Amino acid sequence: MLKEFKEFINRGSVVDLAVGIIIGGAFTKIVSSLVDDIIMPPIGLVLGGIDFSAFYINLSGVEYESLVAAKKAGAATINYGLFINAMISFLIVAFAVFILVKQVNRFRAAPAAKAAPTPTEVLLTEIRDALKEKR
């Protein structure tokens, strides 16, 4: 079983998968920063200085000045602003993956179209079929 596991790990596809996961983790951090630090502030400014990450519904019934204060107090909250940020991050990652897959598919070699048989091949096929009929 140890030998089989070693063979499994040494396959190129497993190593490629591991590299993809590591790069994906780093890419997620970049996208999160892009959304939180670059995309959402201008959107919030256009909408009147709104910070989406501060939007929440307090379920505890006690008033808190911010989401941070509510979390610190251990209050039950629905953090729909953070959910909006996560959805935007997801859309950016999904679009990036779509572009990546589209480019990979474009660079893959197209399957060679089967060439039409030459006149000689057609003639030989006819001779072969005629000989089969005589038997």
- Per-domain residue ranges for the chain? 2-129
Pairing of strands 77-78, 57-58: antiparallel
pTM of the full structure: 0.56
pLDDT in tens, 42-58: 888 887 877 778 888 98
pLDDT at 123 over 80: yes
Q: How confident is the model at residue 125 (pLDDT cuts 50, 70, 90)?
A: very high
Q: How far, rounded to the nearest angstrom, does the alpha carbon of residue 18 sit from its chain's CA centroid? A: 15
What is the model's pLDDT at position 110?
A: 67
Whether domain 2-129 has CATH 3.90.550.10: no
Q: Residue written as tokens 């990546």?
A: 100
Q: Which two tokens stand for residue 40?
A: 């959402």
How confident is the model over 27-45, as pLDDT tens digits? 888 888 888 888 888 888 8
